[in-house]
Each structure stands twice: as C-alpha cells, then as structure tokens.
Amino acid sequence: MAIAALTLAGCGADSSANTSAQPELKVTGAYMPAPSMDTMAAGFFTVTNTGGADTLTGVTSDLSDDITLHSTKNGTMEEEKSFAVPADGTLDFASGGNHLMFENLTHRPKEGEKVSVELRFAKSGTVKISMPVKSATYNPKTGH
Ligand code: CU
C-alpha cells in the first residue's frame, strides 16, 4: 500500500487532499461467538483506518458461501451492501450492532478454533484475518 501511495503522489503531484489518500487499514479484536447450530454464526471485529476513506464491500470464508453484512437499527437487523470505512476513523462490528452473518456453515466451529475470513475492501483489496471462536457469551470488554 505504501508503494502504491508513492506512485500515485508522484503521478499527480498532489498528496495534500486526504480524500485521495490511500487507506491504511488494521483489523483488530476479531472473534466469533461459538454458534449453537451449524446453520448460523456471527462475526465481529474493528477496522482502524489511518489513511483515506475505504469501503468494506464483501466477506468470504471457507466456513460459509453465504456471508452477509448486517447493521442493527432500533433492535432490528438489516442487510447492507457495504460499509464505509471513514478516513482516519474506525468501522466497528460489535455485538448488538454491525455484524457479519455466516449461514449454511460447512461445519459448526468450536470454541478455540480459528476461522479464516477474507474482508474485501474497494481500495485496499483483500485483508485476511483469523477469527478466533470464543464462548457463546464472550464479551470483548471483559475478555471472557
Ligand atoms: Cu444479522
């Protein structure tokens, strides 16, 4: 990503506008609560961006061919086509809010397992993460 940013800056000679800056994404705090069925699981994580704006456009994983992006509004979840990752900001997926929904699982992941997930971004491309499976009642704020 750093190389691409340099190339762009050299070409346009305009590195001042933050809107054209390359995103610098970091994904932290990923986890999946151990699902009680093999029909459905949720996934959570935080994207921290120290560069220009990006967009999360999709998710793939060996665990499921059917992964959708959901937001929660007034207690009701809605499917979203994409999520904005603001410049110098964060995109949060957390219990009770935004979440990944995995359906028709290839198997039921157990606590302690790691699920590999690829997050697809409009500018940054694919970011691979390893999503540890935690207990069904795991709370990232308390760590258990
Ligand atoms: Cu949902």
Domain definitions of the chain by residue range = 24-134
Alpha-carbon gap, residue 127 to 121, rounded angstroms: 8
**pLDDT for 7 beyond 60:** no
**pLDDT for 10 beyond 80:** no
Would you give the distance in Å from CA 132 to the centre of its chain? 14
pLDDT bucket at 4, cuts 50 / 70 / 90 = low
| Residue 62 DSSP class | T
Ligand 1 midpoint to CA 73 (Å): 11
CA distances to 47, 61, 107, 109 from 104, in Å? 26, 12, 9, 12
User: What φ, ψ does residue 22 adopt, rounded to 5°?
Assistant: -70, 140
Ligand 1 midpoint to CA 37 (Å): 15
Q: Mean per-residue pLDDT for 4-31? A: 68
Ligand 1 midpoint to CA 74 (Å): 13
Ligand 1 midpoint to CA 85 (Å): 19
CATH of the domain spanning 24-134: 2.60.40.1890
Contact 55, 96 (CB under 8 A): no
Residue 72 or residue 5, greater confidence: 72
**pLDDT for 9 beyond 90:** no
Residues 51-110: pLDDT tens digits? 999 999 999 999 999 999 999 999 899 999 999 999 999 999 999 999 999 999 999 999
Q: Mean per-residue pLDDT for 39-56? A: 97
Rg (CA), the chain: 17
Lowest mean pLDDT among 12-26, 53-67, 90-104, 124-138: 12-26
**pLDDT for 28 beyond 50:** yes
3-state secondary structure string across 74-143: CCEEEEECCEEECCCCEEEECCCCCEEEEECCCCCCCCCCEEEEEEEECCCEEEEEEEEEECCCCCCCCC
